[in-house]
Structure 1
């Protein structure tokens, strides 16, 4: 069986970096609370809420994102039972391609480059997809697992996993 795993907000934590950058540039406090069902930019002052788009398009933004707790160990364990693919809609952010590949090489060196898919729409033929964005489940025929993130906290129509231990509990 094959599993597609998203990068941002599933393996890597861009929210942490957004908060750091907003704080650095605009003194938005690091303890910013993101309201359930909203995106980070909706939780900062209106006059700077467009900065996220500038940040995410900068070369280097994706290179030093923190790894989501437990992700490396969990993916390594899943790889013992499943064929793992990292699938990222990286084409949306042109400068992210090299950053994401370097990041994956550093933190997930055990995933072969042939199992990394940078795409636009996630039209992949896998059995299970782990993602934080429900738009990626449209037309997906397998088992979707919604990885919890602030923007999807109000959604109830998908099987949810809050962390990598819950993924392991469901799939191992």
Structure 2
């Protein structure tokens, strides 16, 4: 059975919208997501704000679910061996919160298929869906870049803009289950 590694932040969880919501709550200023287009993720908000949010208790636990991800990932689980792979070690608070978030929103994913790591260079799969070049660059399988504001200018990978496109790419051509 073919294996898929799926990132969490800005792939399953809408972290960009979450940044904007946190920023508005903290500063009373509503930013449009268009202002983030092409800006590196850590530089999208005033200095230090992204890192501050990522270290705020509850940030990862309350992230909104990316539209369509639950249904498509559930369908992928029927045709592929699916692993959720998140480089979560940099933000220790995220470990428990991400696990709780996955259990709430994706209860069909077994704990055995969740990988929290520091570097995704160790990941071996047939496909990887991720929003960061640093994670896709060294991956040996088929790389799918999930569109996020910070990666809008990347052209080195096959791009998927939403979960409907992931379904078109991977469910229409899924290998037969043995």
Normalising by structure 1, what TM-score? 0.93
Compared CA separation, residues 126 and 40, structure 1 to 2 (3 A): closer
SS across alignment from 2:83: strand
TM-superposition CA deviations, 1:136-169 (whole Å, max 9, x none): 1232110000000000011111000000010110
Indicate conservation of the 8 Å contact 1:19/1:28, yes or no.
Answer: no
In the alignment, the residues of structure 1 paired with residue 22 and residue 152 of structure 2 have an alpha-carbon distance, to the nearest angstrom, of 24
Q: Of the candidates 53, 56, 72, which is equivalent to residue 55 of structure 1? A: 53
Question: Is 25-34 or 65-74 further displaced after alignment?
Answer: 25-34
2:167 aligns with 168
1:110 aligns with 108
Q: Which consecutive residues of structure 2, in runs of 5 or more, have no partner in the other structure?
A: 172-178
SS across alignment from 2:109: coil
Task: Report the number of matched residues.
Answer: 169
1:8 aligns with 9
Compared CA separation, residues 116 and 24, structure 1 to 2 (3 A): same
2:21 aligns with 20
Question: Is 50-59 or 61-70 further displaced after alignment?
Answer: 50-59
In the alignment, the residues of structure 1 paired with residue 23 and residue 36 of structure 2 have an alpha-carbon distance, to the nearest angstrom, of 17
SS across alignment from 2:89: helix
Q: Which consecutive residues of structure 1, in runs of 5 or more, have no partner in the other structure?
A: none
Question: Is 81-90 or 50-59 further displaced after alignment?
Answer: 50-59
In the alignment, the residues of structure 1 paired with residue 139 and residue 42 of structure 2 have an alpha-carbon distance, to the nearest angstrom, of 28
**TM superposition shift of 1:97:** 0.3
In the alignment, the residues of structure 1 paired with residue 42 and residue 139 of structure 2 have an alpha-carbon distance, to the nearest angstrom, of 28
**TM superposition shift of 1:43:** 4.5
In the alignment, the residues of structure 2 paired with residue 149 and residue 139 of structure 1 have an alpha-carbon distance, to the nearest angstrom, of 20
Superposition pairs for residues 35-46 of structure 1, below 5 Å?
35-39=36-40, 42-44=43-45
Question: Is 11-20 or 23-32 further displaced after alignment?
Answer: 23-32
In the alignment, the residues of structure 2 paired with residue 32 and residue 72 of structure 1 have an alpha-carbon distance, to the nearest angstrom, of 23
